[in-house]
Amino acid sequence: MDEQEPLLRIENLKKYFNVKDNHKKVILKAVDGISMDIKAGETVGLVGESGCGKSTFGRAVLQLHSITSGKVYFRGQDITGWNEKELRPLRKDMQIIFQDPFASLNPRKTIFETVIAPLDAFDIGTKQERREKVQKMLEFVGLPEYQFHKLPHEMSGGQRQRAVIARAMITDPAFVVCDEPVSALDVSVRAQVLNLMKDAQKASGVSYLFISHDMSVIRYLCDKVAVMYLGRLVEYGTKEEIFGNPLHPYTKALLSAIPVPDVGAKKHERIRLVGDVPSPLYPPAGCRLHNRCPYATEECSDEGVAQMLKVNEDHFVACPFTEEFEARKAAKESA
């Protein structure tokens, strides 16, 4: 299975923005060197706090943002820096589901018009076939026929998100970026939409890059998990590894913040980070977490500590000191 060609290979992807801070030109390193492979049929979860560059990464992978450096290979083909026209034939295989179901549907188009648009754009099938396909897809996502010709403002958030999913899935894409697709939805609708996405995956074998800040959603849906902090990955591995044996202090902090729905459960240790996320304009040197990490020492501000290290086949972490945490904790307590 290791020899399987990944559907998508991302190498050292960087996306910098030129911004102005107090009339001074500053470079915002929104995504600062991320590599990952995504195999066919697999779901990779990308977690991190708001503003850490998750969405930028998702859009950069799809070439919706021009990227600063790095490479993106889709089915072995280097698609980095392709222009709109060159990308067009690939677009039907790479889609995106947005976070906000209110902003992602054109208020002037009915649901049917929105969902048929990609088929028209790629000129798939005859007119009759397109209509039938849209009809099937809308029924699959749970929108009954009487809602086909409604405008977005006439529908609820959950219904709109179903339409957005239908639009992304109508061309049978191989890869879909899901940018927090359920965070704008109510908890009761959330599970329905997640199950719908699971069903769609089962039916078509699509791969997801699932962006979220919600660990429980990631745990439910994903095969692999990538944890992101200030533009970089801090830990990457299979779901079992990340949830069963988290190594990076940031991952530990995220996981220990999930509430356990059991009153009698043993109180687990909370790993608390100090302070707030620093401004992404001026990230700390070395390991970007070192000013908040309970185990940090001076070495942590050296460039080079933040390299991804292999723990085992299924687990990578960007911290060389994971085995010294207990000793460091003891040293800090005695000091």
Partner 1 sequence: MKSGREFLHSFVRHKLAMIGLIIFLAEIVLVLVLPPVMHLDPTAIDSTHFSAAPGGSHILGTDDVGRDMFARVVCGGRISILIGVAATAISVVIGLPLGLFAGYYRGKAETIIMRAADIFLSFPSMVLILVIVAVFGSSIPALIILIGVLNWPAIAKLIYGNVLSVRSMEYVEAERAIGTPSLKILFQTVMPNSIAPLWVSLSFRISNAMITESALSFLGAGVQPPTPSWGNIIQNATSLVVLTQRWWIWIPAGLCLVVTIFCINFIGEGVRDALDPKMKRM
Beta strands 94-97 and 175-179 are: parallel
290 binds partner 1 (CB under 8 A): no
Rounded to whole angstroms, the Cα distance separating 56 from 38 reads: 17
Smallest distance, Å, CB 319 to partner 1? 35
99 binds partner 1 (CB under 8 A): yes
Tokens 């998990």 belong to 225
Whats the size of the chain, residue-wise? Answer: 335
Question: With contact defined as beta carbons under 8 Å apart, do 55 and 211 qualify?
Answer: yes
Residue 87: which region, alpha, beta or left (left: phi > 0; alpha: psi -120 to 50)?
alpha
Smallest distance, Å, CB 91 to partner 1? 4
Which one among 26, 40, 124, 151 touches partner 1, defined by CB under 8 A? Answer: 151
Which one among 6, 11, 51, 117 touches partner 1, defined by CB under 8 A? Answer: 117
Nearest to 46 by CA among 181, 244, 195: 181
Please work out the total of residues on this chain that contact partner 1, with binding judged by CB under 8 A.
Answer: 33
The sheet carrying 24-38 orders its strands as: 24-38, 8-21, 69-74, 77-78
Rounded to whole angstroms, the Cα distance separating 271 from 307 reads: 22
Minimum CB distance to partner 1 smaller for 86 or for 186: 86
Rounded to whole angstroms, the Cα distance separating 33 from 205 reads: 28
Smallest distance, Å, CB 220 to partner 1? 24
Minimum CB distance to partner 1 smaller for 89 or for 259: 89
Which one among 36, 38, 62, 287 touches partner 1, defined by CB under 8 A? Answer: 62
Smallest distance, Å, CB 292 to partner 1? 32
198 binds partner 1 (CB under 8 A): no
First to last CA, the chain: 49
Secondary structure (3-state) at 181: coil
56 binds partner 1 (CB under 8 A): no
107 binds partner 1 (CB under 8 A): yes
124 binds partner 1 (CB under 8 A): no
84 binds partner 1 (CB under 8 A): yes
Q: Give the footprint of partner 1 on this chain (CB under 8 A).
A: 59, 62, 64, 84, 87-89, 91-92, 94-96, 98-100, 103-110, 113, 117-118, 121-122, 151, 153, 164, 167, 171
